[in-house]
Structure 1
Amino acid sequence: MVGTAVLTVGAGVLFGLALAAPPGPMNAIIAEESVRRGWGAGFRAGLGAMVADFVFFLLALAGLVAVIEAAPRVRAAMVAVGGVLMLYFGYGALASVGETLTGESDGGPNRGFLKAFVLAITNPYQILFWLTVGVGLLSSGTLDVLSVLPLVGDALAGLVVVETGSPLLVGGLFGGIVVWIVGFPAALVTGRNRVDRLAPAVAVVSGLVLVGAGVLFVIDGLSTLV
């Protein structure tokens, strides 16, 4: 049987990928930056989102994430601000559909980093992750990963047990995020001769994702505030 330490790191990596990989506003920003400005820009955008996760990690350690969730108006204001920012960045993506100058750097080298960071830090889904899964991962104890599976959980109980509250688990989680923010932009810019043809489509999809999420976030936030 593989050692608990290895299983703990592996589980952390999977949790990190589960946080970073799903389609949404963050990956829309990474995709747009990668295709229009290259791997470095996409990686910096991903790094911005990861730094926001690290901030949430520190806040979860201090117990402040729960405070945010317990203050509905504060949370609603964050959601509404995040929605407005998504609408703004979504408009920018749609306005750039005709541009195919890969490698251009309007806004400076930290443009994508700042965009992703400000969106991530106001993203209720990331707050929710750290309030639920994140807090559970930080609490000392053990987690029997396979025992929660339906039907086969009893038979698989005890096979994959990881240590929660372990630095190995947290390190694996952020390692999984790093794997994504390195690999996802690399996959997008593979075959640079096709990037210019891909840029308008990515800009449209990214813009629509951001606008759609922005509308939902603004409605969610204002429904609580009003």
Structure 2
Amino acid sequence: MNIFYDYALGIIMGLSIAAPPGPINAMMAHESVKSSFHGTAVGAGAMTADFIFFWVSLFFKSLIPQSILVIFYFIGGAYMLYLAYGVLKIKGFKTTIKGSYIKGLTTALVNPYQISWWIAFGIPMLQQFSIFIAPGFFTGIIIWIFLFPKLINKIGENYVVAVKMFSFVVLLAFGIYILYQGIHAIKI
């Protein structure tokens, strides 16, 4: 019975990292206007990063220093500003599905909030529950990365400019905020 509880809780935890507004969902929305496969590819890239973070957290949970995050604030913030600029400047869609996947993977690997999520929630999740939480966790992410792009693709064709501006604003805001957090972390 605990296995089913852990699996169901894992789905909720997977949705908790995948569904909130942020840079990955902004990129998924932007890419989904072209096709839902492009949006799903961005999400699959981010899920690959979560898979990497899962294994790092599982095996090295006691060795990850909190101070390492400061580096990711600057790398992640600068990268998100670059992505925001790219969203604003793009005239058409030039990325392949592979390119969308790489964009999702690289963004997630340097995203301090995703890294912080794993330190703050991922490690305790792995310490408190059985390993059966992992399949549920990735099921929750898979549900999101397929449903969200389908929805955006259905409504997005009518609102291409709105989706583009939403993606730009979210990426710009997160980029600035993450850089601010990095500067603030150095002062402490």
Q: TM-score, normalised by structure 2?
A: 0.91
* Cross-structure match for 2:55: 58
Matches within 5 A, 1:92-107: 92-96=86-90, 99=91, 104=93, 106-107=94-95
* Cross-structure match for 2:114: 126
Separation of aligned partners in 1, 2:89 and 2:8 = 41
Structure index of larger Rg = 1
Matched, 1:216 2:177: yes
**Would you say the 8 A contact 1:44–1:110 is kept in 2?**
yes
Separation of aligned partners in 2, 1:132 and 1:83 = 20
**Would you say the 8 A contact 1:65–1:131 is kept in 2?**
no
Q: Where do 5+ consecutive residues of structure 1 fail to align?
A: 142-163
**Would you say the 8 A contact 2:18–2:141 is kept in 1?**
yes
Segments of 4+ moved more than 4 angstroms: none
**Would you say the 8 A contact 2:38–2:96 is kept in 1?**
no
* Cross-structure match for 1:75: 69
| Structure 1 residue 65, shift from structure 2 partner | 7.7
Amino acid paired to 1:211? L
Residues paired across the two proteins, number: 187
Separation of aligned partners in 2, 1:204 and 1:216 = 18
Q: Where do 5+ consecutive residues of structure 2 fail to align?
A: none
* Cross-structure match for 2:145: 181
Separation of aligned partners in 1, 2:15 and 2:58 = 21
Separation of aligned partners in 2, 1:43 and 1:174 = 14
Separation of aligned partners in 2, 1:108 and 1:134 = 31
Separation of aligned partners in 1, 2:162 and 2:118 = 33
Separation of aligned partners in 1, 2:109 and 2:63 = 15
SS class of match (1:67): coil
**Would you say the 8 A contact 1:65–1:130 is kept in 2?**
no
Separation of aligned partners in 2, 1:168 and 1:67 = 23
Matched, 1:168 2:132: yes
Separation of aligned partners in 1, 2:106 and 2:61 = 18
* Cross-structure match for 2:165: 204
Alignment equivalent of 2:154, drawn from 178, 190, 205: 190
Distance 1:117 1:44, change over 3 A: same
* Cross-structure match for 2:45: 48
Separation of aligned partners in 2, 1:92 and 1:132 = 31
| Structure 1 residue 198, shift from structure 2 partner | 1.3
- Tell me the alpha carbon deviations over residues 92-124 of structure 1, each in whole angstroms, 9 at most, x when there is no partner: 11223xx4x6xx4x1333222122211111122
Separation of aligned partners in 1, 2:61 and 2:9 = 25
Separation of aligned partners in 1, 2:163 and 2:62 = 33
**Would you say the 8 A contact 1:77–1:225 is kept in 2?**
no
**Would you say the 8 A contact 1:28–1:206 is kept in 2?**
yes
RMSD: 1.9
Distance 1:33 1:68, change over 3 A: farther
| Structure 1 residue 66, shift from structure 2 partner | 5.0
* Cross-structure match for 1:15: 13
Identity %: 32
Distance 1:204 1:66, change over 3 A: farther
Separation of aligned partners in 2, 1:85 and 1:19 = 20
